[in-house]
Amino acid sequence: MCLKHRGQLFAASVRKLAKSVLQPTQMPSETSDESWHNTQCLTAAASAMRRQQERKFMPDAAKKVYLIHGWGANRHVFDDLMPRLPAEWAVYAPDLPGHGDAPFVRPFDIAAAADGIAAQIDAPADILGWSLGGLVALYLAARHPGKVRSLCLTASFARLTADEDYPEGLAAPALGKMVGAFRSDYAKHIKQFLQLQLLHAHDADGIIGRILPDLARCGTPSALQEALEAAERADARHLLDKIDVPVLLVFGGKDAITPPRMGEYLHRRLKGSRLVVMEKAAHAPFLSHAEAFAALYRDFVEGV
């Protein structure tokens, strides 16, 4: 049995144990964060066990890959991609602060999130970042160049909001509307978000059924709010000239959140980068076009 599959089996057993024996604790209603969506989380002990087990298999792997999720998600958004990556790769998907099972210490800081992931990397790794995770990956590559072997940014950005010298960005009101919807009913809107992104996927219902229960399990609303505000403020354009590793940019042709023009901007600024636009994909190409995306990423990493 391959190492990755052993890790997945362990994760499944931890979830079962936490559900049947440890009795996950319901979020208390007295705090606005925890009453925002009435879900239950795995215990901290079970989560720590799972993360420790995932890391256990990394030292002797042929490739070490870190997948960094986007805003409002957690590591489980990659559950459908990971089995499509080579079994000999050690793949680790950490939760960003305040997302999934990760604790949140105010304020949400993108550079600090990048530093936290860098602290876990003991040898040059291949980094893939999606959306906000791509912004974190940019900071990681610029601040810790010795820990990054290659960089893949999918549906991501150096700056999210538009200004006079950056017409590629989005207007701020569109972002406010998005976060308001998620804050009102996270579980409902994360499902609607996935449905929208998977319009052109042949197995949309199956994908959603596989990842939604874990994806919607946890998250700290104040962290999500602060993370979005941090993304709105962030401007990593000054970091792009500092990045000197192979870069793959994958964008969706139908993405209204990070449209291809953001990828074109990154392509112009990141020396030697390669830009691929999946014309029928939206904001999550690795979900809607998982096989094609995985093949593209496998070839990229193996060719570095």
Q: What is the pTM of this model?
A: 0.78
Binding-site sequence positions for substrate: 71, 131-132, 193-197, 283
Say which of 69, 99, 189, 283 is annotated catalytic.
Answer: 283
pLDDT on residue 24:
34
The pLDDT tens digits along the chain (304 residues) read 444 444 444 344 434 433 333 333 333 333 344 433 333 333 333 343 344 334 334 456 689 999 999 988 899 999 999 999 999 999 999 999 988 888 887 889 999 999 999 999 999 999 999 999 999 999 999 999 999 999 999 999 999 989 899 999 987 666 666 666 666 676 777 788 788 778 777 788 888 888 888 776 656 677 877 888 888 889 999 999 999 999 999 999 999 889 999 999 999 999 999 999 999 999 999 999 999 999 999 999 999 9
**Axis crossing angle, helix 221-233 with helix 132-143, rounded to the nearest 10:** 60
Amino acid found at 150:
S
C-alpha separations of 113 from 107, 120, 243 in Å = 11, 11, 18
Rounded-to-integer distance, Cα 273 and Cα 249, Å: 7
Annotated binding site: 71, 131-132, 193-197, 283
Q: How far apart are the first and last CA of the chain?
A: 27
List all residues 6 or more positions away from 301 whose beta carbon is below 8 Å from its beta carbon. Answer: 63, 65, 89, 126, 150
> What's the pLDDT at 216?
67
Are 14 and 39 a contacting pair, CB within 8 Å? no
Q: Please name the helix (run of DSSP H) or strand (run of DSSP E) that holds residue 294, with its range, or none.
A: helix 290-303
283 is catalytic: yes
Cα dihedral 79, 179, 106, 148 sign? positive
Single out the catalytic residue among 69, 222, 255, 273: 255
Cβ-based neighbours of 19, under 8 Å, separated by 6 or more = none
Q: Which of 220, 181, 194, 160 is nearest to 39 (CA)?
A: 220
What is the total residue count of the chain?
304
- Residue 20: phi and psi, rounded to 5, are -90, -25
Cα distance between residue 144 and residue 157, in whole Å: 19
Q: Which of 131, 156, 222, 273 is catalytic?
A: 131
Token pair belonging to 130: 């999606």
255 is catalytic: yes
**Helices marked H in 82-220 — which ranges?**
110-118, 132-143, 172-184, 186-197, 204-215
3-10+42-303 has which fold?
Answer: Rossmann fold (3.40.50)
